[in-house]
Amino acid sequence: MDLNTYSALDELVSWYAAREIRERPKDVGDAFWRPTVLPILMGEIKIIDILSAIERRAHSGGVLVAGSGDGREVAFLAKLGYDVVGIELNPALAKHSKSLMDVLAQEGRVERLRTRIVQGDFLDDYTYHSNGLRFEDFRTIFAYLLDSNFQGLVKKIGQQSPSGTELYALRPVEWEEPRIGLKRIGRYGVAVENTSPDKPVFVPHYNLMRYRKS
């Protein structure tokens, strides 16, 4: 990414930090929201950018964020250049993230046409059809989910997505990697700086898992 994009993404970290929800909305069903730590999200975005540069792929086309919460990953990916659909089950979070997207667009931080928030269940085809979408059209999917919902998403990819579809899953390092029917093609430690009195050290907190459907 160029320096202007990097600076804009760094500003998004501060922007979202200033708008953290003090009282998180009540959980809906078995889906509960724990926002991705912003420096970790920035680390994930850097890895995605490096991978794209190595593979000479542009940041373009439509991507899905399954379980988009307050829309922070939607905003970061849109700033890279993707057209992003975030699907969030919690109505309060979906409403809140839509309002944040409007403010980001008004302030010129993110192009509004690159972001779309849909309220619904990302495992339910009705969510897509009722919004003029098709799950199988998303060739790149991002998720930070508990194993139960993660396994459901993997199954849906296995049943509906075309070969070559990729899934990026952010997972705490202490979580055991589940056995799934997708090929793992990468595992990348996402670290944040932990400054000690002597020197800064980087401690990995999450793994960014990259899977591809054969």
pLDDT digits (tens, 9 = 90+) for 88-103: 999 999 999 999 999 9
> Which pLDDT value is given to residue 203?
54
> Which pLDDT value is given to residue 177?
84
pLDDT digits (tens, 9 = 90+) for 192-212: 655 455 555 555 689 999 999
pLDDT at 185 over 90: yes
The 3 state secondary structure assigned to the chain is: CCHHHHHHHHHHHHHHHCCCCCCCCCCECCECCCCCCHHHHHHHHHHHHHHHHHCCCCCCCEEEEECCCCCHHHHHHHHHCCEEEEEECCHHHHHHHHHHHHHHHHCCCCCHHHEEEEECCCCCHHHHHCCCCCHHHCCEEEECCCHHHHHHHHHHHHHHCCCCCEEEEEEECCCCCCCCCCEEEEEEEEEEEEECCCCEEEEEEEEEEEEECC
pLDDT digits (tens, 9 = 90+) for 162-181: 999 999 999 988 888 888 88
Report residue 146's pLDDT band, with 50, 70 and 90 as the boundaries: confident
pLDDT digits (tens, 9 = 90+) for 37-84: 899 999 999 999 999 999 999 999 999 999 999 999 999 999 999 999
Percent of the chain with pLDDT over 70: 94
Provide the mean pLDDT of the chain: 91
Percent of the chain with pLDDT over 90: 75
11 alpha-carbon distance from chain centroid: 18
pLDDT at 155 over 70: yes
pLDDT at 12 over 60: yes
> Which pLDDT value is given to residue 204?
60
- Which pTM does this prediction carry? 0.92
